[in-house]
Structure 1
Amino acid sequence: MSKHVKTSLEDAPLNSFHKKLAVYSSAAPFLDGYILSIIGVVMLQISTALHLTPMEEGMVAASSLFGMFLGGFIGGIVTDKLGRKTLYLLVLVFLALFSLGQFWVTSAAALISLRLLLGMAIGADHPLATSLLAEFLPKKQRGSILASLVMVWFIGAAAAYVVGEIILRVAGEDAWRWALASAFVPAAIFLFLRVGTPESARWLMNKGRKAEADAVIKKVYGAEFSIDDLPEKQHGHNVSVGQLFHSGYGKRIFFVSMFWTCAIIPQFAIYAFAPRILQTMGLTGEWAALGAVAITLMFVAGCLGAVKLINPLGRRKLLLHSFLWSGLALLLLAIFPSSAAMATLAFFCAYALFIGGAQVLEYVYPNELFPTEVRGSAVGLATSLSRIGAAVGTYLIPLSLTTLGIANTMYVAFGISVVGFVVALFMAPETRAMDLHNSSVIAPDAQPVAALKRSAELK
């Protein structure tokens, strides 16, 4: 008679706790989209009320992005040192308070300061929320669920536009105050939902707190499971934050940061300035506005399709195809800048659809390629560096359109996509079907052993 082999935690079925945790962890992308977008809805009213100069307007808009750059890396280090649970709640307390504080600002300096702090809180929530979620999810669903969080950013942005427009119509001259402070509501709701979330069992094990880790595992998975069912219960060595910058992990930091940045620069530029770009290319009036809506819908559709493909196609192939076909769409826009309006719109929609693969992997690869002890720091660093790309894409596009013209601007965007494709071609590993421990292990030759085996199987 064969002996029954108990299922590993990574092979355990998805349960209600995993689904709830995915909802709770979506606070980061939702509030990211909401807080970054609501400022654009009411910027004109803010500028009039606070008598902002053009430079101050730019600082108000950019302060949250700069805050995310700081908060991502700092938050990642803190969550690796102190645990996921503590900051998981505290960051939403700060988000709620800073959002509410915007209601009473009376100067540009006060608003810039609060937006900077809001950005830091959002940036900190990205690595801790996705790290906590990744460390609980079964390997079969980990990629698709982490990937689906990217779509929540667009939901947050859409909510901001709807709420902002309603407030502008009913709240009078102080509408901008109510609109900015409205982020308090979703932050408070997510905070309430997160209360009672347990600490990561993997993090507890890494800190030697085995009894606590065992209790969490039994609570989440059932009494028949224990710490013995954690794939990484036997640690080869500990990795320090300093090791993120050299050896095999340095290469992984470079890969994650480069592909994320190459994906996000054209994406943010096109998303933020779609109406202006479309007008420059021949779509005027309502067609430009409708075109911007169509592009946004294609971004969402692309993410949905990529979530469905991430397991059957694999991470590496999905990333390569995403950069290849979205880059081709940008090249066609550069070659035919004066083509028919509908053809131009079709090219833009094709770009938005195909870049979905790279977008959804922005949450997957960083969490799969680094071990528990530095996962938060690695995700935080990648988040921080991606915000540099967001700022570049958002704030240099007007200058590029003015000085280089639309065709050359699209050639630059195509070039960025080519860089992303080349980086992916030479550096992207395949982590499909691996448990979280194996996908993060570095072998002596600085290559993930399981990835090499998987690659050979795919060939």
Structure 2
Amino acid sequence: MTTEASIRLDDAPLNKFHIKMAGLTFGAHFTDGYIIGVIGFALTLIQPQMGLTPLWVGLIGSSALIGLFLGSLVLGWVSDYIGRQKIFVTSFIIITLGSALQFFADTPMELFLCRVLIGIGLGGDYSVGHTMLAEFAPRKHRGVLLGSFSVIWTFGYVAASFVGFFMQNLGPDAWRLMLATSALPAFLILILRIGTPESPRWLISKGRKDEALAIVQKHVGPNVVLDDEAEVDSHQKRSFMALFSKEMRKRTVFNSLFFVCLVIPYFAIYTFLPSILNLMGLSENFGTDLLLNVILIVGAVLGIWFTVIFSRRGFLIYSFIFLSVMLVLLSVLPTSASFLMILVFAGFTLIMSAVSNLVGVFPAESFPTEIRSLGVGFATSMSRLGSAIGTFLLPISTASFGIQFSTMGLAIVLIIGTIVSIAWAPETKNLTLTEAATKDERTVKTALKGEK
């Protein structure tokens, strides 16, 4: 029964449980950044030892992204049927196992398969991690919590740079230990996730309201009540076709396209950063890497602040415009203008890192409970497919057409992202999770005026 003192789940105050769920989800993003970051250093040792061809270098470099595509697509769909919590735990069993198996890989194919397996686990976690936290988090803090994923991912990526730099001189087989170290944080997160509760919003969508209320009042507060009864009567099918229904198709296409348009240049550039800097005529050393890593972290932290003070829609659109201009400049500036190129590259890095926070916010806020994991998983899978293709093709493009042509190609991708965002980006700030996932733009604007 509700009382005057009752608080809706979306309006509950932030407590230790929310922080714990955020920490468990953040740990996954740290592991993801670490796994993606460490492979670049490992490949410098693996390539001569295994005699890798450029094809195998590209395949191994993009293998985790390929797995992410598969895992987020399939496991996100599965979680909407069997529950978030089961995939929340199972995904890290897969990641831990795949990370450890890398130590024993003796052929390119074995290493490729190990990293695809890791990517499948990461993809499943992307689908349910964002969803679990979004479905527990109060709307006042949801943007900050979801946007913080990018910061933690960046810390993982930077940590991998340090580990790779200092371990690469331990011998020709140092890559085995280097890659296997990702099993340590993965195993720790797995242990801590055991016993986490199911998402109450998912339970509501299955008609299990009593179980949902018990979880909410145990972990969020005894006076917290559920206000999502309408979702019990939802008849929307949990299938991929539901994502392309009349009500959802614009959200699905928008989340997939904006996500893809951000991550293609992000992964393509920073996976091959040393060679790109050299091709641009800029000196590359550990000091340069450290500077850019610091800018990545600063940008990610700024992104949290920007998510709080700016509208979601405005932040995304103006960031796309800025990034497009920066890449166009990098494609036309002469290599003799080194100082200006460094300045432009630093600005690009800062804003790219900042706006990347929105990839954890928009998808989780755009879909109703019954297909939220499916929607987040689909958008994530499309982004990782795009990033895998971009990462694979960039070395071929720079070798065949040069760095300026390739940079202009990436700028065109960002321009497409700008157009998509202007046309379709919704405004979800200050709305409850249900409102954000179901209202059209005109109704959203009315709701926001009412909030003010």
Q: Secondary structure at the match of 1:343?
A: helix
1:28 deviates by 2.8
1:281 deviates by 2.4
- Which residue number in structure 1 is paired with residue 342 of structure 2? 345
Larger displacement relative to structure 2 (14-23 or 347-356): 347-356
CA distance in structure 2 between the partners assigned to 1:458 and 1:207 by the alignment: 31
- 1:37-116 → structure 2 map (5 Å cutoff): 37-116=37-116
CA distance in structure 2 between the partners assigned to 1:110 and 1:42 by the alignment: 15
- 1:270-281 → structure 2 map (5 Å cutoff): 270-281=269-280
Please list every run of 5 or more consecutive structure 2 residues that lacks an aligned counterpart in the other structure: none
Does the aligned pair in 2 maintain the 1:85–1:200 contact within 8 Å? yes
TM-score (norm 1): 0.91
Letter in 2 for 1:45: L
Does the aligned pair in 1 maintain the 2:12–2:224 contact within 8 Å? no
- Which residue number in structure 1 is paired with residue 236 of structure 2? 238
- Which residue number in structure 1 is paired with residue 293 of structure 2? 296
- Which residue number in structure 2 is paired with residue 257 of structure 1? 256
1:305 deviates by 1.4
CA distance in structure 1 between the partners assigned to 2:298 and 2:172 by the alignment: 37
Q: Secondary structure at the match of 1:434?
A: coil
Does the aligned pair in 2 maintain the 1:253–1:382 contact within 8 Å? yes
Residues 284-314 of structure 1: CA deviation (Å, up to 9, x unaligned): 354xx54443333323222211211213211
- Which residue number in structure 1 is paired with residue 310 of structure 2? 313
Answer yes or no: is 1:152 the counterpart of 2:157.
no
Percentage of pairs with the same residue: 35
CA distance in structure 2 between the partners assigned to 1:437 and 1:375 by the alignment: 11
CA RMSD of aligned residues (A): 2.2
1:404 deviates by 2.9
Residues 404-442 of structure 1: CA deviation (Å, up to 9, x unaligned): 333333322222221111111110111110000011115
1:186 deviates by 0.5
Larger displacement relative to structure 2 (3-12 or 213-222): 3-12
1:211 deviates by 1.9
CA distance in structure 1 between the partners assigned to 2:196 and 2:349 by the alignment: 35
Does the aligned pair in 2 maintain the 1:239–1:371 contact within 8 Å? no
Does the aligned pair in 2 maintain the 1:95–1:187 contact within 8 Å? yes
Answer yes or no: is 1:453 the counterpart of 2:431.
no
- Which residue number in structure 2 is paired with residue 226 of structure 1? 225
Q: Secondary structure at the match of 2:269?
A: helix
TM-score (norm 2): 0.93
CA distance in structure 1 between the partners assigned to 2:229 and 2:294 by the alignment: 40
- 1:402-441 → structure 2 map (5 Å cutoff): 402-441=399-438
1:106 deviates by 2.4
1:165 deviates by 3.5
CA distance in structure 2 between the partners assigned to 1:322 and 1:232 by the alignment: 36
- Which residue number in structure 1 is paired with residue 392 of structure 2? 395
Q: Secondary structure at the match of 2:148?
A: helix
Residues 452 and 309 of structure 1: CA distance in aligned 2, closer, same or farther (over 3 Å): same
- Which residue number in structure 1 is paired with residue 351 of structure 2? 354
CA distance in structure 2 between the partners assigned to 1:133 and 1:334 by the alignment: 40
CA distance in structure 1 between the partners assigned to 2:172 and 2:271 by the alignment: 26
Answer yes or no: is 1:331 the counterpart of 2:328.
yes
Does the aligned pair in 1 maintain the 2:205–2:232 contact within 8 Å? no
- Which residue number in structure 1 is paired with residue 177 of structure 2? 178
Letter in 2 for 1:193: L
Does the aligned pair in 2 maintain the 1:91–1:124 contact within 8 Å? yes
1:385 deviates by 0.7
Residues 252-310 of structure 1: CA deviation (Å, up to 9, x unaligned): 11101111111111122221233322222222354xx5444333332322221121121
Residues 127-184 of structure 1: CA deviation (Å, up to 9, x unaligned): 11110010000001101110111121111112222223343344x4432221221111
Residues 353-396 of structure 1: CA deviation (Å, up to 9, x unaligned): 22234311111110001011111111111111111221233222
CA distance in structure 2 between the partners assigned to 1:89 and 1:237 by the alignment: 28
1:52 deviates by 3.4
1:5 deviates by 5.8
Does the aligned pair in 2 maintain the 1:294–1:349 contact within 8 Å? no
Residues 112 and 405 of structure 1: CA distance in aligned 2, closer, same or farther (over 3 Å): closer
Residues 339 and 173 of structure 1: CA distance in aligned 2, closer, same or farther (over 3 Å): closer
CA distance in structure 2 between the partners assigned to 1:458 and 1:423 by the alignment: 27
Does the aligned pair in 2 maintain the 1:76–1:127 contact within 8 Å? yes
Q: Secondary structure at the match of 2:224?
A: coil
Residues 402 and 164 of structure 1: CA distance in aligned 2, closer, same or farther (over 3 Å): closer
Larger displacement relative to structure 2 (425-434 or 275-284): 275-284
Does the aligned pair in 2 maintain the 1:261–1:385 contact within 8 Å? yes
Residues 277 and 316 of structure 1: CA distance in aligned 2, closer, same or farther (over 3 Å): same
Residues 210 and 263 of structure 1: CA distance in aligned 2, closer, same or farther (over 3 Å): same
CA distance in structure 2 between the partners assigned to 1:374 and 1:429 by the alignment: 18
Residues 408 and 48 of structure 1: CA distance in aligned 2, closer, same or farther (over 3 Å): closer
1:40 deviates by 1.7
Larger displacement relative to structure 2 (338-347 or 131-140): 338-347
Answer yes or no: is 1:283 the counterpart of 2:276.
no
Answer yes or no: is 1:322 the counterpart of 2:322.
no
Residues 181-210 of structure 1: CA deviation (Å, up to 9, x unaligned): 111100111112212211000101111112
Does the aligned pair in 2 maintain the 1:102–1:181 contact within 8 Å? yes
Aligned length: 449
Residues 315 and 102 of structure 1: CA distance in aligned 2, closer, same or farther (over 3 Å): same
1:51 deviates by 4.1
